[in-house]
Structure 1
């Protein structure tokens, strides 16, 4: 997997966390940098761990599905990306819910909820023989940055553009899956 593909993958997987962080930031008039950074670090850590868990599960099964691994990666990325794009499209007219400051437990639950797609991608990566530690680290760092920025810009961006970012992230994941399939079918 090329560094560019890893970067696009990390951005695509970070969109859910970015959108959640925008919502978090939109609930406060002036979210401080410390709060934004804490949110980013929680989201980043969870997003880095979940592809490792998915990769481990995928490695257990990789010997049995080696002949169709590219189809599995394509299908998982297509489904995850399609779900993200559809969710962004479906919720485009809904206002952001009004919430108060999140407790650490709610923040962690939100981070886990937004990282489920990273576990599915981790399963896909097990079939592609990539350096999972590098990929997980990049995913975690990109997510931490995007979530931190999301909180800081939450009041400015709010719910007006969050659905567009989610649709774009889903499309990126679907394109990555299609690229993996095309690469395997043409070699």
Structure 2
């Protein structure tokens, strides 16, 4: 696999992380630089880690994993996005401190898992074409870190400058990402190895 192919693969995989990071950045109440590093690091670790898990699992379990990976991503994103939409629509001033915390480790990890399910499938594909994994996983992690860092920064700046119901919009975006992943796997994508 050529390096340009690895870069393009990494960019493609990091698009969902970028969208989730923009959403996360936009709902952070008190935006700080350390939030960028923390969220981008978690997104990158899961993206690279899922690629490696997929690679090693792909050696023996590829057909089984490919059958349900999209459902995991769909339900995680549906849960997180639905929770954000529900909390925004049912929120009042007293509930403001109880809303979905985008900096909560559980929330970030769920988002990272949901947006890295495709990396699991890519890792399986890499195993099936008998290519190495270390350079690919490292590149995927670094590109995801860069895209996620930009996403949190952009979302944080956008969220502070425009007074919109960003948690509602963010929740809808996450739900749409979940439907996109599900529809791609069910209707538009034939799992082939090339």
Shared fold (TM-score, shorter chain, > 0.5)? yes
**Superposition map of 1:47-58 within 5 A:** 47-58=47-58
- Contact persistence 1:21–1:154 (CA under 8 A): yes
CA distance in 2, matches of 1:44, 1:149: 13
Alignment match, 1:42: 42
CA distance in 2, matches of 1:19, 1:145: 13
The count of residues paired between Structure 1 and Structure 2 equals: 150
5+ residue gaps, structure 2, are 78-83, 89-99, 160-165
Alignment match, 1:151: 152
**Superposition map of 1:158-173 within 5 A:** none
Once the two structures are TM-superposed, the CA of residue 102 in structure 1 deviates from its matched residue by: 2.8
Change (3 A) 1:34 1:106: same
Change (3 A) 1:32 1:54: same
Deviations 1:126-177 (A, max 9, x none): 11222211101111111111111100001438769x79xx7xx98xx99xx9
Q: CA RMSD in A?
A: 3.5
**Superposition map of 1:35-184 within 5 A:** 35-60=35-60, 97=85, 98=88, 99-155=100-156, 156=158
Superposition TM-score, scaled by structure 2 size: 0.62
CA distance in 2, matches of 1:36, 1:119: 24
